[in-house]
Structures are given as structure tokens and as C-alpha cells.
A and B are shown apart, each in its own frame.
Chain A
Amino acid sequence: MTTSTASAMRLKESALKADRAILNHTLPAGEPYLLAFDKGQTLRIVDLEGNQAVDVIFYNANDPAEHYSATETLLRQGGIYLTTDSVLYSDEGNAMLTIVADTCGRHDTLGGACAAESNTVRYALQKKFMHSCRDNYLIALQEADLGLGKADLVPNVNFFMNVPVTADGQLTFADGVSAPGKYVELRAEMDILMLVSNCPQLNNPCNAYNPTPAQFLLWDPV
């Protein structure tokens, strides 16, 4: 049932040391990334230069038809923001990952990923040839050829992005709560396939109009 984990920002630092990580990958601005990791491993995502939206969808690595579900996650925690102790659930109601550390404090679940088509709606018809997260997702899935396609591009997590809902029902894009070096850490509760777009959006302030790199570190269970 609904728990109280929706409330407030819960800032928590990690004790994990970078030199013990088994993977340390810097993802340049605007690029996709597909990474599999195992149940029990801990993944850290670092906003290296601040105010970068990192758009992520998680799949069950053993059955990618099962995916992160924004609505199941929100319903279970009774609210919209992700922070320390938030559990990310799948559309099957299974726990996928737990946020075990977070120095940013708030991550978005409602803003989704940008696409060429939605850019024509949000900004102007002539924006359609600009780069977008969905292009990144689609090329990563096409190249990997795993049987996943556009239908599997479900509402994603926007790490480091702040999209508050107001009491009168408006959706706002507020100034980033993130800053250079802020990170979020997730422990996998099942074997995970992670699809990332390091957001190339140049039309809105989610990246401060300047997309920047993100860093990924992975640790085995201690």
C-alpha cells in the first residue's frame, strides 16, 4: 500500500569509493548508453557539470518486456518525486531498483523524454530536425537488436531534473536543483538493462541550454 516515502528531499551521501568501482564511464553530452548490470550491484549517476537531465528507462534484463513504470512507482510511494529510499517498480509491480544515496534530492518522473515530434508541438514545426532523446533511444535499440522498439519507450526517469506540480494543477519546469558533482545511487533489485539518453535538448532550460557529460560508476555488492 501507499507508504510515506514521497515526501521531501532526503539527501544522503554514499560511502562507496570511486577507485573500487568495476566500471567508470563518462557519457558525453547528447549520447545514448545501454548498460546491463546485476541484481545487488550499485550504480551511481553523476551530474558532472550540473543541470544536466539524464533520461533513463530500466528494463528487466531477463525479460525486457517488463519495464520501469512511472505510474506504479508513483502509486506505491504516494507521490511524484524520487529521492533516497524511493523504490522504482516495474509494470508488473516488482521492485527494480532502490535509490540508496542522493545528493541532488529530487528527480522527475512526469516530464518524459524529448522527441522530434513533440519538439514540433512544444517549440515550433521547424525544430523537427534537432536531436532528441527519442532518437537516441531508438538508435540504441536498433543497434542492439534486442526485440525492443518504440512501444517500449515508456515514461522515463529524468535524473537531476526538477518538474514541480503546483497545487492548482500546473506542471512547471523549475530551475534545476542539481549542481556540478551531484549524484544519485541505485541498488539493483533485479538484473537490469538500462537505456540512457544524455538529453540533447537545446530548446528548454532542463540542461541550462548547455548539455554536458554524465558519469556512470558501478560497484559489486560489498
Chain B
Amino acid sequence: MNANIPTTADAVDAIEHWRSFAPELTGEDVLFSELVPGGGHWSYALPRGTTLRMTALEDGANLSVVLYSAKEKLERYNMPDSLKAQHTAHYSKGHVLMSDMGRSLASITDDTVGWHDPLGLLLDDRRMGEKYGEHRYQEFRNGMSRSGRSGLLIEIGKYGLGKRDLVAPVNFFSKVTVDEEGRFAFVPNHSKAGDHVDLRLDMDVILAFSTAPHPLDPSPAYNGKKVGLALWRSGIAPKDDFCRTFRPENARALHNSDMLYLA
């Protein structure tokens, strides 16, 4: 057992979900795990030196993630800065998610998918209604759909952040390509059940997510897909870290993060 976590009394239903979708992790390192239904949303304050394993539990999952510095919430994930520094329009192993302050908030240290969508498109209530029709609580109870935007707004609202603080998310497990004319093409069922991606936290962060469908998903039904999450104690990026050596820009962004933790 992890020394920081006391043995829980039986009355607490903290189930070791990770054993079903990430059995290669070790019990000593896993801090918590979670099964997230499609259309769900949650948020965590996660410490530097931990890694979040995100596993698609069904084909065609989408996990929209936004990141803020827990110390200074004005510092947050910045899509353009991350894309232009790494000359990329997709994310995979080696890429880092940079803040507007030139630091790596988190690094992608492992990935079986090869392409995650960084273009930040997000399902909002208007589009959700046009596409899928109304699914109100009155008729659908817990089957009510929540848009990705609403889910993220609820989560960041828990930390005093509002609409104007909502940044363009990373859509893990989804793929959107851009043709020569600049037009989007969505790749349906891009990720398969069992695919995973590891996100190492390089700073203390607030991470909020939604598993609502990608706004370009052509499925006529609101089919949110299940995702498994497990946080484990991985340690901070070592000197020879894959992400550090992936690009000189990433080495500097990780250096800038290290400079926040001098004590």
C-alpha cells in the first residue's frame, strides 16, 4: 500500500478499478482510480510527479481535458503556445502541454494511440441540441446529456474559474485532420477499447475533464464512451526523460517548470 494513504475502512467504497484496465501498474504506486461514464465530468488537484493513466474502455472515446496551475490559476494550458513550440497539430508520446507562462504543465510519457486532437473543438449546448435533440432530466433522469462545455464549466467553477477562463481543451483519443484547404475531417472510432495514454504532471495542476462526444463525431446519437483513470506516483521528469529530449523546446519548458520547484 502507498504510505501516504492509510488503509481504508471497509465502509469506504474506494474500489481498485485500475486492476481491470491497467493491471500492469503496481499497487504500491497507484493513488486512486476511477471509472468514468460517457458524458461524465470531474476534476482533480494533482501533484507534480504523478502520472494519470487514461484508458479508453470503448471504441471511439473522447476525453476533453483542460489544465490550470493549482498555485496560480491565472496560469493555464495554452493551445497555440503548445502547438507552435512543438510545430505540431497532434499530440502523442514526447509532446508536452505548455502553459501560457512557458512551462510544461504535463507531459505525454506513453501512448498507444499515436494521435490526440489538440485543436480544442468542444461540444456546446446549442450544437448538442441541434445534433441529438433535447435530453432533459425530466424525461431521462441520469441519462440526461451534458455538453462538454457545460461539464468543463461546472468543474472549473468549483475552483472559482468562469466562462472567460475556459481554455481550448485537448481532446484525448480523438483525431481531426486538416486538408490543404484548411478543412477538418474527423476520424470515427479512432481509439479502440484498451488504448491508453499517460499524462505526467510536471506542476501541481487542476485538471478538469469531460467525456462528452467530440463535436465533429458524426454519430447521430449522443454516445459518450467510458474511460478509466488511474493516478500513480511516477516521479518527476528525470534528466534523460523522453519528453525532455524529444525537442529542445520541451527541454526548456520542463526546465521552466523545474524552476518553480526549487525548494
Contact = CB atoms under 8 A, between A and B. Distances in A.
Contacts of B215: 75
Interface string B230-258: 00000000000000000001001101100
Contact of B88 (A122, A151, A171): A171
B182 interface: yes
Contacts of A152: 164
A218 interface: no
A65 B162 CA distance: 10
A119 B74 CA distance: 19
B49 interface: no
Given A91-B164, A112-B84, 5 more contacts: A8-B181, A75-B127, A78-B183, A115-B81, A170-B87
Interface stretch (B23-31, B32-40, B114-122): B114-122
Closest 5 CB pairs of A and B: A112-B80, A117-B102, A169-B90, A81-B182, A165-B178
A120 B252 contact: yes
B163 interface: yes
Contacts of B168: 70-71, 155
Contact of A150 (B84, B85, B100, B131): B100
Interface string A160-197: 00011111011111000000000000000000000000
Interface of B: 74, 76, 78-81, 83-90, 98, 100-103, 115, 119-122, 124, 126-127, 130-131, 162-168, 177-184, 215-216, 249, 252-253, 255-256
B59 to A, nearest CB: 21
Contact of A172 (B78, B87, B102): B87
B183 A6 contact: yes
A71 B120 contact: yes
Contacts of A71: 119-122, 168
A93 B124 contact: yes
A74 interface: yes
Contact of A155 (B79, B103, B179): B79
Nearest to A72: B124
A122 B84 contact: yes
Contacts, number: 148
Nearest to B253: A121
Interface of A: 1-2, 6-8, 65, 67, 70-72, 74-75, 78-81, 91-93, 106, 110-113, 115-122, 124-125, 134, 149-155, 163-167, 169-173
Contacts of A2: 184, 216
Contacts of A173: 84, 87
Contact of B87 (A67, A149, A171): A171
Given A6-B184, A7-B181, A79-B184, A118 B102 contact: yes
Contacts of B216: 2, 75
Contacts of A134: 100
Contact of B80 (A7, A67, A111): A111
Contact of B89 (A81, A121, A153, A170): A170
A91 B252 CA distance: 32
Given A117-B102, A125-B255, A151 B80 contact: no
Nearest to A119: B102
19 contacts: A2-B184, A7-B181, A65-B164, A67-B164, A70-B120, A71-B119, A71-B121, A71-B168, A80-B178, A80-B184, A112-B78, A117-B100, A121-B256, A154-B167, A165-B178, A165-B182, A171-B83, A171-B88, A173-B87
B259 to A, nearest CB: 10
A165 B84 contact: no
Contacts of A117: 100-103, 256
Contacts of B83: 110-112, 171
Contacts of B178: 79-80, 165-167
B119 A74 contact: yes
A201 to B, nearest CB: 11
